[in-house]
Structure 1
């Protein structure tokens, strides 16, 4: 059926994890840019981030008073499923003929189940730009065959069908964010929120992606862009940085690549171009880089290009677990590259996951001890997350219970700091205690506090973050003590600190 598609509302659903706030929604900006390139001014585009201002479903409903959408495009992570289904239901209540599309992590890994919701019409699996643009074009044409659109899930006579996977080219320069879409968000407003990086050196920052996909085979990872490494050219990356610096006065950039240092020559070329351009900027790498392929040569160039912080994905100090989830890091090599990074004056962080399937208290302690005794300035102790649990919850409970909010509470509980979950050989209450112990021992080590105060660009912000971490850890211990008389099978529900002090 041919549809009138003129007004398109792109919405980033956001549910906070720990104390973190939203970062600018790059994926949504990429999709909006592709729609503008494809359809020029024949589409009216509106962009909303529910994380900015903590918008509710009712707030979004109010936005439609003066903007009747023909198409709603929702961008969501897995633990945001409840908000996605709630928004879709409201759309169909107010505008029954409006098509609802979902893309992002949730759509890529739970597309089959999303499509079983009658309020959701289409699900985009994998990289979204081309699929969304082709879908809009198809909806505008009568009798267009949707099966020719790769990366799409939809219903035919009530049954979910999924098309062939979408394959992107090795070079992704063509999929750039256009100036209009940067203008569509209040980029400076995001600086008021805590984020993955923690230490903001300048007044505000802008995130960028220089590559997509991760070719490594870690079993715990769910990379929305797949396992194929595909990247922008170094010259294209520099052009974007220069544009954002000149247009908005941006002096700080956070690189959210899945694995920036996979292609060493490309990474070095990007750094050298920034150095040669003489740009007065700062760089941070909060998403995590590979420690086992990092070199001192690249670190030197990164530092000269303005890098003041980077984070290594380490996950566990248990050799058994490193092998089990196919990360296979040489832990002594990791410890050494942490030392080298710190010696170059770069704030050095590490990501760790506690509570893997079958992980023992002894193995968790091994990881904590590695973090505490290393030269890391920052450590994030996440709870191990099995994204397959989302689909298990969908499969067992969802189909006939769309209004059961407990279902979505269960899905939210797969998030990194959920307190009611453990898949390890210790129960949830004990895992909470171990996470709190890790944070206390790491962040309140006297040498680390003193070194952090000297390294962080904003002393005021460092002290504030440290006090926030102390408050959250104390709160967690208080809650734990108040619930100490509960059974092991009924874990304590309370705060688990999330700090990037």
Structure 2
């Protein structure tokens, strides 16, 4: 009897037997530097698994210690991929170099935005940094190109895989770089299965890392300093609403017990470039609000909101009141600078309207400014700050111009055309040493910052940095908000107040902090990358211990608010009185205006006094002559606060400044993660909303707490 032959049906999905590891490394010794969960490399894993049958699940790594342990205990994989960003480049290269030395058969793949745009610069980049350590670099989007590479490596030797795969670059032994153009981008991001929904991210809910998602990718704007400003990223790809719903709820279920136990920061990071600008973002905010109700998470959503579409952005964010701060990331308000950096398709005025309209609903607002952009000058930079302060933003984030390899601004042609003079510095918190396979690996990350442009000599650059520090310390987050309120009532710009505070004499503590800031601004900058890299790796311990390599603006702001808080409140009050006097406001001889200003400065000092101690006093007290809470409420409503008699108490009272139990838990969580050193507190101040940690103010019961009617007592105004 003849038996039929079994039919062999070819699988629609190829089988891949390679062992694959993916690493999105971060430094960990001073603090966890890049606190994001490794969702980007996890997306490479889920996309690859959707296109092929992997005999071995892809392993993911975030911490260098975990990767070192795996190499020691489990041996090398067939393929290891590293994310390559400005904050982990040298760390990834250190691991890659050792792996190639010990396990030359392992294929090392890099991918990420820290890679030049053009072939001549890519060739130099390979020869100086990648050669001998990296086999392939994925240029452009990674998911599809990395999957193509895995399939190719499963079928043939890696030496035969060169120049044949779009976006997969490889340097030949003779120094020839094979660099085909990037693979076309993914049109529907839902084609990348969610690593959260599939459980790949479970191990990273450890209380240290922040859940990170991307609901769309790409940017329609063309800013020359940004890696998404190129034509490759002009179109925006999106995830569908069901994908986002499932992903956020999967995260929420993991975060709920951590948040309830107080062992994790109650945050979500969305890496979209223009959140709120698209109709789908409205539904995303609805899902976030749903997660807040079900899981008590997220309390804070960190995201860059859209640069256009004012009403759409406001409508989306209104669904999660208080969770998202509205951004007006203008970078500069000078028309010539904006033209030079190709931001002409962004209406800076509309951008400010978005944030300021949100302020009327109680939503936090912030703007961003970059120092030393092409065409910038001291007058233009300070003028931009003045306009933003006058517009009412309650926080201005001030950055130095970093030249990113994947941006147009970093090309040789652009540098030469616009006269950019740059120096190198060590990136804050991005350094460490790790024992791997019995060897010590030392690494530190550097970034290249512009310090001089034709209209801004270095001396002006440094003075702008000092003004940035004073603005951050005196103005940002409403630290002394009653004083700008009084000034605005008299049509005086708070920037005039800040500039006057710069010129006044300072107490010894504040004077020392400002002097050391200027000195360290100079000392952290190096002319040659290789010299600084050698110095940093030799002195890693000094960096880890906090003696070197800190974010100066954050660190010195924390020093102003801790070491020099008393000295800071005094010039804040004196500068306010000085500019009032110059405009004809009577402030001498014990006037009510002077009394109000001095009481307000002391009020704000006490809200922050001793907050950053591990054992802060629970209650502080102040005698009260004015109802400052009423004044601040009137200022928020944009009512008049010109007449101090409107806020005079009929009888003096006593004010108490209290740290609540919830605030103490918040501070304990953050200081436990970042420490109580100046650089640790500086980092804390970038992550927590100041309103969440400043002392609550209450008046002791008294029959005389009602404001006196205007006109009941003469006032020198």
Which residue, out of 425, 429, 444, partners 2:455?
425
Structure 1, unmatched stretches of 5+, are: 191-204, 396-405, 453-470
CA distance in 1, matches of 2:393, 2:453: 27
Which residue, out of 208, 219, 222, partners 1:217?
222
Offset of residue 392 of structure 1 = 11
* Residue 98 (1) aligns with residue 106 (2): yes
Q: Contact 1:10/1:73 (CA < 8 Å) preserved in 2?
A: yes
Change (3 A) 1:472 1:426: farther
State the Cα deviation string for residues 315-348 of structure 1 (Å, max 9, x = none): 1121221122121344433333222111222222
Q: Which residue of 1 aligns with 2:155?
A: 141
CA distance in 2, matches of 1:174, 1:214: 19
Q: Contact 1:10/1:47 (CA < 8 Å) preserved in 2?
A: yes
- Of the structure 1 ranges 306-315 and 105-114, higher mean CA displacement relative to structure 2 is found in 105-114
Q: Contact 2:222/2:342 (CA < 8 Å) preserved in 1?
A: yes
* Residue 293 (1) aligns with residue 309 (2): yes
CA distance in 2, matches of 1:19, 1:257: 22
CA distance in 1, matches of 2:184, 2:469: 41
SS of the counterpart of 1:188? coil
Change (3 A) 1:219 1:32: same
Change (3 A) 1:262 1:487: closer
Alignment of 1:60-75 (within 5 A): 60-69=67-76, 70-75=78-83
Q: Contact 1:111/1:124 (CA < 8 Å) preserved in 2?
A: no
Which residue, out of 12, 18, 33, partners 2:46?
33
* Residue 259 (1) aligns with residue 274 (2): yes
Q: Contact 1:349/1:378 (CA < 8 Å) preserved in 2?
A: yes
Offset of residue 272 of structure 1 = 4.3
Alignment of 1:293-332 (within 5 A): 293-295=309-311, 297-305=312-320, 308-310=323-325, 311-328=327-344, 329-332=346-349
CA distance in 1, matches of 2:445, 2:550: 15
Alignment of 1:232-271 (within 5 A): 232-249=239-256, 252-263=267-278, 265-271=279-285
Q: Contact 2:113/2:406 (CA < 8 Å) preserved in 1?
A: no
Q: Which residue of 1 aligns with 2:682?
A: none
Q: Contact 1:256/1:287 (CA < 8 Å) preserved in 2?
A: yes
Offset of residue 75 of structure 1 = 0.4
Change (3 A) 1:30 1:160: same
Change (3 A) 1:149 1:408: farther
Offset of residue 47 of structure 1 = 2.1
Q: Contact 1:353/1:384 (CA < 8 Å) preserved in 2?
A: yes
Q: Which has the larger radius of gyration?
A: 2
Which residue, out of 370, 393, 406, partners 2:387?
370
SS of the counterpart of 1:317? coil
Q: Which residue of 2 aligns with 1:459?
A: none
CA distance in 1, matches of 2:100, 2:522: 46
Offset of residue 180 of structure 1 = 2.8
State the Cα deviation string for residues 386-406 of structure 1 (Å, max 9, x = none): 2259999999xxxxxxxxxx9
Q: Which residue of 1 aligns with 2:135?
A: 121
Q: Which residue of 2 aligns with 1:23?
A: 36
* Residue 155 (1) aligns with residue 189 (2): no
SS of the counterpart of 2:204? coil
* Number of residues of Structure 1 aligned to a counterpart in Structure 2: 444
Q: Which residue of 1 aligns with 2:516?
A: 478
Q: Contact 1:32/1:181 (CA < 8 Å) preserved in 2?
A: no
Q: Contact 1:282/1:307 (CA < 8 Å) preserved in 2?
A: no
Q: Which residue of 1 aligns with 2:617?
A: none
Q: Contact 2:328/2:354 (CA < 8 Å) preserved in 1?
A: no
SS of the counterpart of 2:318? helix
Q: Contact 2:274/2:307 (CA < 8 Å) preserved in 1?
A: no
Q: Which residue of 2 aligns with 1:441?
A: 471
SS of the counterpart of 1:381? strand
CA distance in 2, matches of 1:155, 1:446: 48
Offset of residue 125 of structure 1 = 0.6
Which residue, out of 234, 254, 276, partners 1:227?
234
* Residue 9 (1) aligns with residue 21 (2): yes
Offset of residue 451 of structure 1 = 6.4
Offset of residue 287 of structure 1 = 4.1
CA distance in 2, matches of 1:147, 1:346: 51
Structure 2, unmatched stretches of 5+, are: 1-15, 260-265, 413-422, 428-443, 483-508, 529-547, 555-684, 691-717
Q: Contact 1:12/1:49 (CA < 8 Å) preserved in 2?
A: yes
CA distance in 1, matches of 2:190, 2:370: 34
Q: Contact 1:12/1:48 (CA < 8 Å) preserved in 2?
A: yes
Change (3 A) 1:239 1:380: same
Offset of residue 119 of structure 1 = 1.8
CA distance in 2, matches of 1:184, 1:29: 12
Q: Which residue of 2 aligns with 1:207?
A: 212
After TM superposition, the score normalised by the length of structure 2 is: 0.54
Change (3 A) 1:79 1:432: farther
* Residue 170 (1) aligns with residue 187 (2): yes
Q: Contact 1:300/1:344 (CA < 8 Å) preserved in 2?
A: no
State the Cα deviation string for residues 14-63 of structure 1 (Å, max 9, x = none): 4699996432232122112223444555124332224xxxx48xx85454
Q: Contact 1:348/1:376 (CA < 8 Å) preserved in 2?
A: yes
Q: Contact 1:113/1:394 (CA < 8 Å) preserved in 2?
A: no
CA distance in 1, matches of 2:87, 2:290: 42
Q: Contact 1:476/1:494 (CA < 8 Å) preserved in 2?
A: no
CA distance in 2, matches of 1:288, 1:270: 14
State the Cα deviation string for residues 79-108 of structure 1 (Å, max 9, x = none): 643333322211111111111100111146
After TM superposition, the score normalised by the length of structure 1 is: 0.75
